[in-house]
Structure 1
Amino acid sequence: MIAGPGAAYICDDCLQVCNDILRDPTPFSPQALELASRPPVVVAAPPPLGEDRSTTTTTREPVRTVILELEQKQQGNTLILHRIQYYQDVFELQYLWIRPPFTAGFAFVPRIIFFLKDTTGAQWTGDRGGMILARPDLASGPNNAVYQGSARFRPLPSTGARTLTIRAADPLGQFEESPPRPWEFEITL
């Protein structure tokens, strides 16, 4: 076993398959396709060794926490906004995403794309430094998959902001026959 970050270990067989794929001149070799069809494994990597944890935003205690517990469903997908945590210089949106399982062939877990806007006109897009974890322990059966995620944004909303509008979209949903509308939440600050 080759030791990776945290509790990640890679066996010799997997290393050999990866090396074979890298050496194979064809772009879609049978080994590469077989590897891509395996279900995704999502693991959060710990901060690099030697990093001072006291200066890492995600390891400090939040300055303020706002519990949201807001839920919206559409086209077999559910997005639950759990809470917003304010830190010294960033804020983090924590959520659960419940959806049908991805079909074979997905080698990654797509992220939800966020667009936030407050009443002062400040805007935040994307997801800066967040993470998403597969949570099979929370799934109620084989017909759904659960992902626990967080999205981090900088800078903090101004103290004059009264509401925060959160729009969220599943980028892969745009390829469906009838693309879903983005989820939209309005939160009073």
Structure 2
Amino acid sequence: MSTDRTQARCSFCGRHTSEVRRMVAGPGAAYICDECIHLCTDILNDPTPFSTKALELASRPPIVVAAPRPADEAQAAHPTIETPQRTLLLEQEQKQQGMTLILHRLQLYQTYFELHFLWIRPPFSAGFSFVPRIIFFLRDNTGAQWHGDRGGMILARPDLASSPSNAVYQGSARFRPLPSQNTSTLTIRAAEPLGQFEDPPTRPWHFEITL
């Protein structure tokens, strides 16, 4: 069954077909507009490993694209909630430059696992239209490595803020495949791309988890 492409949104910037000159369709519900193609071309032609444009693109929040297919709509009417096969409570936190990252729990499902966290920081300045996601890099004692699924989802939690001087965000990141049976420790590094523009630049958070 075909997807309703009149509802397509660019997977990089979120703009609809009517808001751009050209939209290129990719696999499934992936799209990219002409302006984001030009941006990606500029990044590829820039010899700087972490250019301003590359960091800005990496810090964008995930975009929900296109309209669901009829089969997906039927499935959405009767969603299946997957139950984790194992949950590890972590409750580890680290602070730096007025920010705190709390690793709350690790949930292992049949084919993937999720890392849930809380991010406490000063409120973003006026004019900030989105919350930069946190990028994760994981490595276990066997040498296996994982990168977060675009940083997962981040939700504002004003109900958890203790004062107007801080903001709380709740997030999760998904990783595939599951750790092997030989995994006993997990090294977790987390970074905020826009932190590279702070003075001084923020350091990556570093956690050691025993499974």
Q: TM-score, normalised by structure 2?
A: 0.64
List alignment gaps of at least 5 residues for structure 1.
1-17, 24-41
1:129 to partner: Cα distance: 7.3
Note the alpha carbon deviations across 1:44-101, whole angstroms, 9 max, x for none.
x8x96322633xxxx2110000000001000011000000000000100000000011
CA 1:128/1:113 → structure 2, altered by over 3 Å: closer, same or farther? Answer: closer
Q: CA deviation at 1:177?
A: 1.1
Letter in 1 for 2:190: A
Give the equivalent residue in structure 2 for 1:50: 74
Could you say what secondary structure the match of 2:196 adopts? helix
SS in 2 for 1:187: strand
CA distance in 2, matches of 1:61, 1:126: 20
* Percent of paired sites with the same residue: 71
Match of 1:82 in 2: 104
CA distance in 1, matches of 2:129, 2:93: 28
The one-character-per-residue Cα deviations of 1:126-147 (angstroms, maximum 9, x if unpaired) are 3357211000111111111100
Matches within 5 A, 1:12-161: 49-51=73-75, 53-54=79-80, 59-128=81-150, 130-161=152-183
Question: Which residue identity is paired with 2:160?
Answer: L
Q: Which residue of 2 aligns with 1:28?
A: none
Instruction: Specify whether residues 172 and 122 from structure 1 end up closer, same or farther in structure 2 by C-alpha distance, changes over 3 A only.
Output: same
Question: Are the equivalent residues in 2 in contact too, given 1:128–1:153 (CA < 8 A)?
Answer: no
1: CA distance, partners of 2:193 / 2:150: 16
The amino acid of 2:194's aligned partner reads: L
The answer on 1:165 being equivalent to 2:180 is no
Q: Is the 8 A contact 1:80 1:96 kept in 2?
A: yes
| Backbone CA RMSD of aligned residues | 2.4
Query: SS of the residue aligned with 1:50?
Result: helix
Deviations 1:138-183 (A, max 9, x none): 1111111100001000000101011000000111111001011100
Instruction: Find the counterpart in structure 2 of residue 183 from structure 1.
Output: 205
How many residues of Structure 1 are paired with residues of Structure 2 in the alignment? 146
Classify the secondary structure of the residue corresponding to 1:104: coil
